[in-house]
Chains A and B, each alone.
Chain A
Amino acid sequence: MTARLVRAEWTKLTSTRVGLWLVLVGCLMAGGFTALFTGLAGAENGTPAVGTEAFSQLIAAIPAQVTIISLVLGVIGMTQEYRHRTATPTFLVAPRRGRVVLAKVVAYAVAGAVLAVAVVATTVVVASVYGAARGGAPDWSGDTLGVLLRSGLALVVYAVIGVGVGALVRNQVAAVVGSLVYLFVVESILRSVPATSGAYKFLPGGALEAMTATFEGPDLLTAWQGGLLLLGYGLLAAVLGTLLAVRRDVV
């Protein structure tokens, strides 16, 4: 039952251009950051010099900077049902609405993985080619490989969070704007205020930072704790969204 709902979600995703555009934008962002960081490598007040491990790990963490795209992908996946009023036919086919949300969580985790592969590949290609041209392509092994894989994984987890936020908020614009405001305004304030900075490591931003932390910065969880905490946030939002919002009357 849920398997065919997952296939239906995949058909929805691949029959419009939204997903494709988001993957393209994600790749452009990752490629752009990679080129910028490589170009500034070794410069005064720039990034670490090419060929160093610090440089390699900095580049490997770039895919995690694109999590906003992944989040938007998941948010749109859920909220489009309300925006285009397709919630009606969707819930007519699947009256147990929790299954629809579950199917979206699974389908958008897969979509997040596709995005992650594209973004990680773009990052690796740009850094390898441009880095080599500047005298030292990153060494994609050891800790660097770990950081690269975990930043890709962050994209998968953020797509799940997007579905959860969408289920909770339902309004597409509110969900996207709310997420951006939270990630870029609220969390950065919480992070910088001493009274709340201790809690930062348990928040989505802190957990994301933990997943791809390359050096000793603020007090953070371990990478795996951060990843599981993020996934927990996504699933919690999906469950709360199902119970509080998705079950509401579709008028």
Chain B
Amino acid sequence: MRLDGPVVTGERTGVSTISSSTAPAGQVRVEVRGLTKSFGSVRAVSDLGFTVEPGQVTGFLGPNGAGKTTTLRMALGLITPDSGTTTFNGTPYAQLTEPTRQVGAVLETAFHPGRTGRDHLRVYCRAAGLPVSRADAVLDQVGLTPAGRRKAGNYSLGMRQRLGLATALLGDPAVLVLDEPANGLDPEGIQWLRRFLRHLAHDQGRTVLISSHLLSEVEQTADRVVIVGAGRLVREGSLAELAADAGAGTVQVRSPEAARLAAALSAAGAQVQTTGPDTLTVTGASTAEIGHRAFVDGVELHELHGRTSGLEETYFRLTAGAEQYSAGSPDTTTPGSAA
């Protein structure tokens, strides 16, 4: 089942403009070029460049401390890069005429604790010149209407995430940027968020960029991924490409006639590894191909499932160096005694 993702993705990539008719303000491509930023002597982001396409969900992946948040904040004009640019259809964020109506962003759950969620949204309606009725509309959109008149300080983490998302949606933007949106959401909320983001991208043609430090979190949502490590681009491409990069996925097979099936599969060109008296690990053949082979040869199957751990392993391998870096080697963390 999980192997479906990349396959569908591949098809979708080619026809990304097909369902753009309901896109709010035309499609917007985000281009990040040569972003570089140092904080003191620490280089947070180095010559980072990638493109975020409309009509797709792009996952922005990297271990903690890889520079994801810094990059997103630079893209949105909150941090001034040392060099490099980010443009939305060619225009930097700070020069967009009505930024709220073109780009919506959730960078952190930032609210005044004494203000109700609804009032929080009304503040930004006023600032963006939107009708205050949008506040109720987006509360409804994220399922937060019942809590709208409660103080945001009493919200659960999941409710805060929803309010942040509601804030981003106020201007009905063509681009959505979300920094670790799944943090604090319960499993049901994560399911909802996945469907919601895919709907926004695939059905409405919006550009969706979500950051995460976990591949598994964006694996079922994202069409493409941009992977960073230690502030540098590590890999950019569709999940299908990334999976291919890892080598074909492996398939786990259990059969009382394992040896006979192994011989048949080997003859068909797959690499077969016998991992137990009745279990095989197969590379180079899909579950469908293996099932078909067994059916044709009359081999009884007890278990047949594809493993995408190849993808996960690739991600770990790609970012391994960066993780060691972010763990903090003695020379990067200077103990400052401010006391």
Closest to A10 in B: B126
CB pair A93 B114 closer than 8 Å: no
Residue in A4, A17, A91 whose CB lies within 8 Å of B78: A91
Chain B residues, CB < 8 A from A18: 114
Q: Are A249 and B80 in contact, CB atoms less than 8 angstroms apart?
A: yes
* Given known A-B contacts A15-B119, A96-B94, A85 and B124 have beta carbons under 8 A apart: no
Which residues from 83 to 119 on chain B have a C-beta closer than 8 Å to any C-beta of chain A?
Answer: 93-94, 96, 99-100, 103, 105, 107-108, 110-116, 119
**Which of these, A8, A92, A95, A250, contacts B123 with CB under 8 Å?**
A8
The reply to whether the CB of A222 lies closer than 8 angstroms to some CB of chain B is no
Taken together as a complex, chains A and B put the C-alpha atoms of A250 and B69 apart, in Å, by 11
Q: Please give the distance in Å from A90's CB to the nearest CB on chain B.
A: 7
B108/A85 in contact, CB under 8 A? yes
In the complex the two chains form, is B112's CB within 8 Å of A80's CB? yes
Total number of B residues with any Cβ neighbor in A under 8 Å: 34
CA distance A4 to B129 in the complex (A): 6
Check if A84 sits within 8 Å of B112, measured CB to CB: yes
* A92 lies within 8 A of B78 (CB): yes
Cβ–Cβ < 8 Å partners of B76 in chain A: 92
Q: Hey, which chain B residues are within 8 Å of A95, CB to CB?
A: 77, 93-94, 96, 99
A93 touches B79 (CB 8 A): no
A228 to B73, CA, bound (A): 39
Dominant secondary structure at the A interface: helix
Task: Using CB atoms, name the residue of chain A closest to B74.
Answer: A249
Which residues of chain B are near A92, meaning CB under 8 Å?
76, 78, 99-100, 103, 105, 107
A and B contact pairs by CB, cutoff 8 A, 21 listed: A4-B127, A5-B127, A8-B127, A11-B126, A12-B115, A12-B123, A15-B122, A15-B123, A16-B112, A17-B114, A88-B110, A89-B110, A90-B127, A92-B99, A92-B103, A92-B105, A92-B107, A93-B99, A95-B93, A95-B94, A251-B78
Query: Given A85-B108, A249-B80, 13 more contacts at CB 8 Å?
Result: A11-B119, A11-B123, A18-B114, A86-B110, A86-B112, A88-B107, A88-B110, A89-B124, A90-B127, A95-B94, A249-B78, A250-B78, A251-B70
Q: Which residues of A contact B (CB under 8 A)?
A: 4-5, 7-8, 11-12, 15-18, 80, 84-96, 249-251
